[in-house]
Amino acid sequence: MKPKAAASKKAAAAAPSQANERKRAGAQAAGALRTEAFYAKWRAAMTAIEQEVIGNRGVYPQNDGELDLTELARRAGAVMNSLYPARHADFKMDVDEFLD
Structural domain of 81: 39-100
Per the structure, how many domains does the chain have? 1
User: Average pLDDT over the chain, rounded to whole?
Assistant: 87
Decide if 7 is inside a domain.
Answer: no
How many Cα atoms are found within 13 Å in the side-chain-facing hemisphere of 24?
6
pLDDT at 51: 95
pLDDT at 14: 59
- Burial of 34-73, coded b for 16+ CB within 10 Å and e otherwise, reads eeeebeeebeebbeebeeeeeeeeeebeeeeeebeeebbb
Lowest mean pLDDT among 9-13, 37-41, 45-49, 61-65: 9-13
Decide if 5 is inside a domain.
Answer: no
At residue 7, does pLDDT exceed 70? no
Alpha helices in 1-100 (DSSP H): 3-14, 18-55, 69-76, 89-99
At residue 1, does pLDDT exceed 70? no
pLDDT at 9: 64
- pTM (2 d.p.): 0.73
3-class DSSP assignment, residue 75: helix
Decide if 25 is inside a domain.
Answer: no
